[in-house]
Copies of this chain bind each other. A is one copy, B any other.
Amino acid sequence: YYLFSAGQVFVFIAVISVLIWFLHYDTGLDWNNADCAGKPCVFNYHPPMMVLGFLAFGYQGIMSWRMLPDGLSHQTKKFIHLSVQVSGFVLAVVGIVAVFKFHNQHQPPIANLYSLHSWLGLVAMILWGLQVVGAVVSFISGVVPVENRVSFVPIHKHMGVVLYLLALVVMLLGIQEKLGFYQGDKAYAKLTPISQLGNIMGLSIVAIFSVCTTLMIP
């Protein structure tokens, strides 16, 4: 189906953009340094990890049921879907740890959870975690009787799509916030190369948003 592949192209653009942004235009990665002025620092792990974990792995995980060859057994597909989603979640957790570490170790410390981005980001993290736990308990652990499993599938699917959209929205807010930090005095706001890169990344995220709503909404 063409839409899948269009989605893959936009996922690719978003991943490349975030890497160019934080490794090339910004100061690069250093897990042990919380001072970003001119030096590699721990904050710069946050955006790439979130984009890899949620946007890229999330896309492969959600689309895996439809992209994988029909020949594979349901068990195999389930194993792939599970592994991709769990790995993506682990990457995202690393990304969240990075930004809290950055705020706490910065001199002077930066407040945690002051922004709309961070509030919605925390909500998205928690619900994503519950989605993983809920799925593992009901589909893997064997604790839940088969009838109940079946009735949980539509809920899991619906929540999965809504959560993926929410994560995309949180990324857009993160981009908006971070680009604002590069503008000095807001009265002289300019469209700089870095804003163009960030805006293009944002447009590709919206494109993924549209592909997902179109594909997943029957």
Contacts and interface: CB of A to CB of B under 8 A. Distances in A.
A172 interface: yes
Interface of chain A, main secondary structure: helix
Number of copies: 2
Interface residues of A, number: 45
Interface string A144-170: 000000000000001001100110010
A79 interface: no
A116 B199 contact: yes
A189 B114 contact: yes
Interface string A40-63: 000000000000000000000000
A77 B181 CA distance: 47
Given A110-B189, A113-B191, A120 B213 contact: no
A173 interface: yes
A-B interface, 3 closest residue pairs, ranked by CB to CB distance from nearest: A114-B191, A180-B180, A116-B202
B214 A166 contact: no
A177 to B, nearest CB: 6
Contacts of A218: 217-218
A115 B176 contact: yes
13 contacts: A106-B187, A114-B195, A115-B179, A115-B199, A116-B198, A117-B176, A119-B202, A120-B202, A120-B203, A161-B217, A165-B165, A166-B206, A218-B218
Nearest to A188: B108
Given A108-B188, A176-B176, A213 B162 contact: yes
Given A113-B191, A120-B206, 12 more contacts: A110-B186, A110-B189, A111-B189, A116-B175, A158-B214, A165-B165, A166-B206, A169-B169, A169-B206, A177-B180, A217-B218, A218-B218
